[in-house]
Amino acid sequence: MTILPFLTAAEVPSLDAYLAAGGGRGLERARSLGPEQTAKEISLSRLRGRGGGGFPTGTKWTSVRNAPGSRRYAVCNAAEGEPATFKDRTLMRANPYQGIEGLAIAAMAVGADEAYLATKATFTRERHRVLEALEDMGAAGMLEGLTVSVVAGPDEYLFGEEKALLEVIEGNDPLPRVLPPFQHGLFATGPQLGWESHPPASAPGAGPEPNPTLVNNWETLSNVPHILARGPEWFRLMGTEKSPGTLVCTVVGDVARPGVYEMEMGSPLSELLEVAGGPLPGRRLKAAFSGVANRVIPATSFDTPLTYEDMRAAGTGLGAGGFALYDDTACMVDVAAVLSGFLAVESCGQCPPCKRGTGDITAALERLRAGNADQADLDVVGARLRTVTDANRCYLGTEEQLLVSSILETFPDDFVDHLGGACRLPRRTHLVPKVEDIVDGTVTYDGRQARKRPDWTYAGE
**Is 435 one of the binding residues for ligand SF4 (CB under 6 A)?**
no
Binds ligand SF4 by CB under 6 A, chosen from 53, 180, 315, 349 = 349
Give which of ligand SF4, ligand FMN, none residue 166 binds (C-beta under 5 to 8 Å, depending on kind).
Answer: none
CB of 27 or CB of 394, closer to ligand FMN: 394
**Is 51 one of the binding residues for ligand FMN (CB under 6 A)?**
yes
Q: Which of residues 378-397 bind ligand FMN (CB under 6 A)?
A: 394-396
**Is 392 one of the binding residues for ligand SF4 (CB under 6 A)?**
yes
**CA angle, 148 then 88 then 132, to 5°:** 40
**Is 387 one of the binding residues for ligand SF4 (CB under 6 A)?**
no
List all residues 6 or more positions away from 127 whose beta carbon is below 8 Å from its beta carbon. Answer: 119, 121, 150, 152
Q: How far is the CB of 394 from ligand SF4 (least distance, A)?
A: 3
Binds ligand FMN by CB under 6 A, chosen from 38, 213, 217, 389 = 217
CB of 43 or CB of 398, closer to ligand SF4: 398
Binds ligand FMN by CB under 6 A, chosen from 8, 38, 77, 362 = 77
Give which of ligand FMN, ligand SF4, none residue 77 binds (C-beta under 5 to 8 Å, depending on kind).
Answer: ligand FMN
Q: How far is the CB of 396 from ligand SF4 (least distance, A)?
A: 4
Give which of ligand SF4, ligand FMN, none residue 49 binds (C-beta under 5 to 8 Å, depending on kind).
Answer: ligand FMN
Neighbours of 119 (CB within 10 A): 25
Give which of ligand SF4, ligand FMN, none residue 355 binds (C-beta under 5 to 8 Å, depending on kind).
Answer: ligand SF4
Stretch that binds ligand FMN, among 43-51, 194-202, 248-256, 422-430 (CB under 6 A): 43-51
CB of 103 or CB of 229, closer to ligand FMN: 103
Binds ligand FMN by CB under 6 A, chosen from 24, 62, 80, 311 = 80
**Is 181 one of the binding residues for ligand SF4 (CB under 6 A)?**
no
The 3 state secondary structure assigned to the chain is CCECCCCCCCCCCCHHHHHHCCCCHHHHHHHHHCHHHHHHHHHHHCCECCCCCCCEHHHHHHHHHHCCCCCCEEEEEECCCCCCCCHHHHHHHHCHHHHHHHHHHHHHHHCCCEEEEEEECCCHHHHHHHHHHHHHHHHCCCCCCCEEEEEEECCCHHHHCHHHHHHHHCCCCCCCCCCCCCCCCCCCCCCCCCCCCCCCCCCCCCCCCCCCEEEEEHHHHHHHHHHHHHCHHHHHCCECCCCECEEEEEEEECCCCCEEEEEECCCEHHHHHHHCCCCCCCCCEEEEECCCCCCCEEHHHCCCECCHHHHHHCCCCCCCCEEEEEECCECHHHHHHHHHHHHHHHCCCCCHHHHHHHHHHHHHHHHHHCCCCCHHHHHHHHHHHHHCCCCCCCCHHHHHHHHHHHHHHHCHHHHHHHHCCCCCCCECCCCCCCEEEEECCEEEECHHHHHECCCCCECCC
Give which of ligand SF4, ligand FMN, none residue 160 binds (C-beta under 5 to 8 Å, depending on kind).
Answer: ligand FMN
CB of 62 or CB of 347, closer to ligand SF4: 347
Q: How many residues bind ligand SF4 (CB under 6 A)?
A: 14
CB of 95 or CB of 301, closer to ligand FMN: 95
End-to-end CA gap in the chain: 48
CB of 24 or CB of 49, closer to ligand FMN: 49
> How far is residue 139's CA from residue 149's CA, in Å, rounded to a whole number?
15
Q: Which of residues 152-171 bind ligand FMN (CB under 6 A)?
A: 157-158, 160-162
Stretch that binds ligand SF4, among 125-133, 305-313, 348-356, 410-418 (CB under 6 A): 348-356
Query: For the chain, what's the residue count?
Result: 461
Give which of ligand SF4, ligand FMN, none residue 217 binds (C-beta under 5 to 8 Å, depending on kind).
Answer: ligand FMN
Site string for ligand SF4, 283-302 (x = CB under 6 A): --------------------
Q: How far is the CB of 1 from ligand SF4 (least distance, A)?
A: 36
List all residues 6 or more positions away from 392 whose beta carbon is below 8 Å from its beta carbon. Answer: 351, 353, 354, 398
Residue 102 zone, left/alpha/beta (φ > 0; ψ -120 to 50; rest): alpha
**Is 215 one of the binding residues for ligand FMN (CB under 6 A)?**
yes
**Is 351 one of the binding residues for ligand SF4 (CB under 6 A)?**
yes
Binds ligand SF4 by CB under 6 A, chosen from 396, 423, 435, 443 = 396
**Which residues are near ligand FMN by CB under 6 A?**
49-53, 55, 60, 77, 79-82, 157-158, 160-162, 215-217, 220, 394-396
Q: Which residues bind ligand SF4 (CB under 6 A)?
A: 158, 176, 347-351, 354-355, 392-394, 396-397
